[in-house]
Structure 1
Amino acid sequence: MPPSSVHPLRDNTNFRLLFAGGTVSAFGDQFTLVALPWLVLKLTGNPAALGLVLAAMAVPRAVFMLIGGAVVDHFSARNVLLIARGANALMVAALAALVLTGGITMPWVYALALGIGLATAFAYPASTALMPSIVAPQQLQQANGALMGMRQLSLFVGPALAGLVIGTGAHAAAHGLADAHGLGRAFAIDATSFVCSLVTLALIRLPTGAKRAGAMPGVFGQVLGGLRSIAADPPLRAFMLYAAVVSIFVTGPTQVGLPVLADTRLDHGATSLGIVLAANGGGMLLGGLLSGIVARLVRGHLGTMILCFDTCVGLVLASLAGVHATWLAATLLAMTGLLGGVVQITLVSWIQRRVAPNMLGRTMSVLMFTFLGLGPLAAAGAGALLKLVSLPVLFVGAGLTLSTIALGCLASPALRDIRSQDAAPRTA
């Protein structure tokens, strides 16, 4: 069916509510994205501790992500999302209060990181599965483009603002913690954004047909059913396995490596970290805007495009080994964001159209697991590895490994031959 000429932002009240709440929440998320690693480094000065905090978020997220997808397929995606975001609001608010009052300690950081990870295990598959319930299939590409463009804009603007908020009065200590006032304000901004998102979600009204069926198999049976469904689809199965590889060699090293790079080698501390992450978000925003043009230029050969782009990303990651200036780090991260932004919109829409609606929550939970579960676990390994190797060795090793794997996968028909026009909906 050809794409609708009417954009869902114009004629769909539910989508406008989802978009508004998602916009505020996405901008708020960037404050915690910058503040949490900076808090750990200021409390401990230890990259390994940062890796452990990221792992504390990743373990419950990884363990419960697949269960979260099954829960979403069983209950209302909106209600699951309401509960998960409400829990996140409480925990981020607790972080803000503890930092501002001087009560923050690493045990509190680990405990709240565990809770945030558990909540996001349900929030991510719920937010992705909610979209087809409120947007017509022919408008999915436009709706995903709008949401991802907004998120990429938040990645562009949010980290820079967060860096400025945290860096206000940089190195001034409160309650013995450097940058405490800025860190507390950053967490408070994110908590407020969650509250705004909860209000808009509560106003969404789903059609009767969007409600889940009552009697369904057990949760673990549903999880296994989702995994079997992916295993029976060779292109989807191959992509999921490849996404896990990318998460390990890109997400893991950068989640630990970039804060350490900003703290030890760049010239403006937390502000440098915000600038670098903002540049990556700006690249993703531009890539998202160009994704339709690029998809036409490659004539729908999504698999080949992804593998070639990831080869380049690996080389850029390796080149971070020689960086000492904020502007150069920002330029390189903008390049990786540009390539990633081109891929994201088309690929998520491909999966949403390819997978049967009653399997979508579980399928997206597997995809989210590869990035949001494995990535931080790899970050924990990277943090520990930095006790044995230097930061340049970490970047070079991860980058060249990714490029080698991506080039090798060009020989795999299951990945190389993924095409955008192969996204016909599958029946349950």
Structure 2
Amino acid sequence: MSGVDNGARRRLPVHVLRHRDYRYIWMGQFVSMLGTQMHAAALSWQVYQMTGSAVQLGLLGLIRAIAVMSTSLLGGAVADAFNRRRVLLVTQAMLMLLSAAIAVVTMSGSVTIWFLYVIAALAAATSAFDGPARAALIPGLVPRVELAPAMSLNMLVFSVARMVGPAVGGIAVAQVGLSGTYWLDAGSFLFVIAALAMMQTRLEPPVVRGNHLEAIVEGLQFIRRTPVIWGVILLDFLATLLGSTVGLAPIFATDVLKIGPEGFGLLLSAPAAGAVLGGVLISLVPQPERPGMVMVGAVVGYGAGLMLFGASTTLLVALLALAGAGAADSISVAMRAVIRNLATPDPLLGRVAAAHSAMAMGGPRLGEFQSGVMAGAVGPRIAMIAGGAAVVVVSLAMGALVPKMSRSRLDELDAEAAARDQRWGHGGGAATTSDSAGQAGSGGDQ
């Protein structure tokens, strides 16, 4: 590795914000994510106010999950087949129009529950195309040696939006109403659209072989043949499957800690608050040389936090445990993104991100079911402690069984990724602007 690369990696992660296009996208993403969280809070409130049914409220989440999981792989193929900037311009515009549509219909007073379900499904399916394109775009906006801090800062804005958004959404519903909240969300997409419109970086067009179905199969075959990739995805899936807190939070609030609805809200907010602290931490320290080792350690910390939460007898201890679990989870998410993007050739970035997204969506949903069954069989405390212990054991086992995932250095991942890019006949999806120095390439907005 060159001295320049070593120097770049010793810088604080916030230094990556000097890259103009990344900085604009990063700021636009924060505003858009904040609006999305506000929209989600308003939609949940509206569904429950209209139906008074917990089942129909749960159906809203199920519809979203099915829409995302059924379209994610196709979304990844599209992200790798077309110019990712243009894909994002289309998806962001569509999401803005969907928010505007629900605002207009809500204002008219003619909204129905099935209309809300349809809008939720369409928005979730659109997000399945938006997410892979966004994940695949970021590596082209910063030099490869600064990918880790870029992912860390992305995780920070997501965590802050996830923590603040629902509360701001609740305030917005009270102050400007449901339709006003949806209009605010629609407006938030303009920030990302503006950042994309002003983007100066021009990336090489992706190289895709065959039709979309063949492209999806090709992406899955790459994952199967690459231990560092399937190890990251499998560890993420197992950790969320075995260690679910959301499904048991109402039981802990009502029957274990006896803290009522106010305490229940605090239990839900604590992991997000911890995630913000974790995001701040990884944004203020130099990027680790072995991201896989940090990831495995963070997942172990996540499991330990769940065990402490399961054993807690006071609200304070429960909140500290969940905040610690949230901080560990945010660190592991950032490191997973770094490993995945470094180890994946540019033409496959969208498909690999989409496959990971589908598994990441399924794990928590199955985890809520698993934790509920376990709690019914052995009680919520033992279920939570056992789940946390299982996360610790699985993460340590995965780290030992997949050493390529846990022990690879950043320079090793760089070298292997460069070799894969050469085999794909791709130079790295590089920028033509000076503020993305270190990447080579040319080409217009294909």
Alignment TM class, shorter chain as reference: 0.7 to 0.9
Residue of structure 2 aligned with 1:368, choices 336, 352, 357: 357
- Mapped contact 2:296–2:396 kept (Cα < 8 A): yes
How many angstroms does 1:227 deviate by?
A: 1.0
Tell me the C-alpha RMSD between the 2 structures. Answer: 3.6
CA pair 319-307 structure 1, distance change in 2 beyond 3 A: same
How many angstroms does 1:128 deviate by?
A: 0.6
Matches within 5 A, 1:334-345: 334-345=323-334
If the length of structure 2 is used for normalisation, what is the TM-score?
0.77
What's the counterpart of residue 192 of structure 1?
A: 187
- Mapped contact 1:56–1:114 kept (Cα < 8 A): yes
Please give the secondary structure, in 1, of the residue aligned with 2:100.
Answer: helix
If the length of structure 1 is used for normalisation, what is the TM-score?
0.80
**Distance between the aligned counterparts of 1:372 and 1:190, measured in 2?**
23
CA pair 317-297 structure 1, distance change in 2 beyond 3 A: farther
**1:198-235, Cα deviation, whole Å (9 max, x unpaired):** 2222222332x43224x631111111111111111223
How many angstroms does 1:268 deviate by?
A: 5.9
Letter aligned with residue 330 of structure 2: G
Aligned residues: 403
Residue of structure 2 aligned with 1:305, choices 287, 297, 317: 297
**Distance between the aligned counterparts of 2:348 and 2:160, measured in 1?**
30
- Mapped contact 1:84–1:123 kept (Cα < 8 A): yes
Matches within 5 A, 1:19-418: 19-166=26-173, 168=174, 182-207=177-202, 209-213=203-207, 216-250=209-243, 254=246, 273=265, 276-291=267-282, 301-302=293-294, 304-316=296-308, 318=310, 330-376=319-365, 381=369, 393=379, 397=383, 400-412=386-398, 413-415=400-402, 418=406
CA pair 235-146 structure 1, distance change in 2 beyond 3 A: closer
**Distance between the aligned counterparts of 1:317 and 1:67, measured in 2?**
38
**1:32-77, Cα deviation, whole Å (9 max, x unpaired):** 2323333333333333322221111111211111111111111111
Please give the secondary structure, in 2, of the residue aligned with 1:206.
Answer: coil
How many angstroms does 1:3 deviate by?
A: 5.1
What's the counterpart of residue 439 of structure 2?
A: none
**Distance between the aligned counterparts of 1:359 and 1:349, measured in 2?**
15
**Greater shift in the superposed pair: 299-308 or 364-373:** 299-308
How many angstroms does 1:193 deviate by?
A: 0.8
- Mapped contact 1:57–1:113 kept (Cα < 8 A): yes
Identity of aligned residues (%): 23
What's the counterpart of residue 172 of structure 1?
A: none
**Greater shift in the superposed pair: 394-403 or 406-415:** 394-403
**Distance between the aligned counterparts of 2:293 and 2:179, measured in 1?**
46
Which runs of 5 or more residues in structure 2 are unaligned? 425-446
CA pair 219-152 structure 1, distance change in 2 beyond 3 A: same
Which runs of 5 or more residues in structure 1 are unaligned? 170-180
What's the counterpart of residue 177 of structure 1?
A: none
**Distance between the aligned counterparts of 1:392 and 1:87, measured in 2?**
46
How many angstroms does 1:142 deviate by?
A: 2.4
**1:224-279, Cα deviation, whole Å (9 max, x unpaired):** 1111111112232133123222333456x62x66589889976566x974x55544
Letter aligned with residue 354 of structure 2: S
